[in-house]
Structure 1
């Protein structure tokens, strides 16, 4: 669904666009019917779909912008799923995709069906209980060289202890490594649009009440990072991460207080 949302953004929403993801469109075409991309094409004004497009596009655009600015040549995608950022980074950048074994196998299968040559090394790890760094090193990552880590769209499905443990495990990377992380804010920090989206997601997945497990406040995330050796550089709302003028629009996209992005750097 995240890949479909990224692909659909440039197809059904009006310019300006945050991201153009033709690879995701090709992957979605292999996923069978009903196509997740087809939902966006057929119902572009559906509020929950529009919010999903904004979140998926905004977080990818934010992380990729910081990756390019960092100049770091090792790039790790935690909870990779069908992330396609590997096709939008420098060819000289070395890439690792971390996810559950079954998810990585599914990703590889869809890529093969779509005729897409995968970029990056697959590293199977269960982030709910495993440490990704030793597996990344075994897969060729150099722990003495800074690494850029993108961890998006995952933390809300883990418990708080797993998130804190992952921050701590990533502190084994080289000083100067950077991390981009997103999280759902607690109910008290959401606006009406954020509450509406949370209710819609809960209904869609058949859950009762809160659809996510980990919804820390901004201060909690900063404390977790600092304790693990990371210096938070920026915490910004999803709606504020876009360029000036983005909200001067007449389509279905609307700002929403629900997701925050955090950028941090590992201390020496």
Structure 2
């Protein structure tokens, strides 16, 4: 992905806008993110207009709700892990994620590492300053240019402890990477302390999707292509599970439409997810190095 200097990824703006739009629904919300619209910056209004023009009302709800589900699940995992003594949380491809600026309750228990491209991270920090939001003391920015530095090097430089358990979230990223790059990242995470957990998203092949999922996926893929961020890697649930096993993970759990509705929309008959994107969680086994 090629990023303009000091500008965030356009797809990062898109997901921030989705979190903001979710708050237009009646509460309770899956994720209450009052910072999302401000973080999206000046491009937000154009993105909102485009989403409303290109997606049916049901498809737009599906998209915004799913974006909030995929942001909420990692936060729930971190909360559970923190209660079990885990003190590190790494957000890979952090983009305009707002966890560290909303969840002061968890920032008192875990150190957060935001990993992202230096240019987009610099823009985010400038935007936070304009919003008069002070980064919490327990947040560490880890700008990594993967053309010149590995994930392991970048995390070590930032002070991450590979000998201690952690939670990694990798949300809305894998579809833009090659299988080789995904494998390399998973292999690095697998060198962390046993018990380290990862939660990530992956996108499924277009041919496997239902009509609702195809509508959402087609619009988002077109937006990504125009932003210079084309989809590269797609997986079936079995394929991503096999990749996790090959790179050193166990306790693999799938989290798709049924799990999302059961966890966050219980008893709701008006909520529908097509499954274009799914979540999966796993745990590191073996020895760290």
Structure 1 and Structure 2 fold alike (TM over 0.5): yes
Q: How far apart in 2 are the matches of 1:109 and 1:131?
A: 25
Preserved contact between residue 16 and residue 96 of structure 2 (Cα < 8 Å): yes
Q: How far apart in 2 are the matches of 1:58 and 1:189?
A: 21
TM-score (norm 1): 0.87
Equivalences, count:
261
Preserved contact between residue 185 and residue 216 of structure 1 (Cα < 8 Å): yes
Q: How far apart in 2 are the matches of 1:126 and 1:224?
A: 25
Q: 2:28 aligns with which of 11, 16, 20?
A: 16
Q: How far apart in 1 are the matches of 2:52 and 2:213?
A: 23
Shift of 1:195: 1.4
Pairwise CA RMSD: 2.7
Shift of 1:185: 1.2
Q: 1:65 aligns with which of 73, 76, 83?
A: 76
Q: How far apart in 1 are the matches of 2:57 and 2:147?
A: 32
Unaligned runs of 5+ in 1: none
Q: 2:268 aligns with which of 248, 256, 264?
A: 248
Instruction: State how 1:106-185 maps to structure 2 within 5 Å.
Output: 106-119=123-136, 120-126=139-145, 130-185=149-204
- Change in CA separation of 1:205 and 1:259 when aligned onto 2, cut-off 3 Å: closer
Q: 1:82 aligns with which of 66, 87, 96?
A: 96
TM-score (norm 2): 0.81
Preserved contact between residue 117 and residue 143 of structure 2 (Cα < 8 Å): yes
Unaligned runs of 5+ in 2: 1-13
* Bigger helix fraction: 2
- Change in CA separation of 1:249 and 1:45 when aligned onto 2, cut-off 3 Å: farther
Shift of 1:173: 1.2
SS of the residue aligned with 1:105?
Answer: helix
Preserved contact between residue 178 and residue 232 of structure 2 (Cα < 8 Å): yes
Counterpart check, 1:32 vs 2:35: no
Q: How far apart in 2 are the matches of 1:155 and 1:128?
A: 17
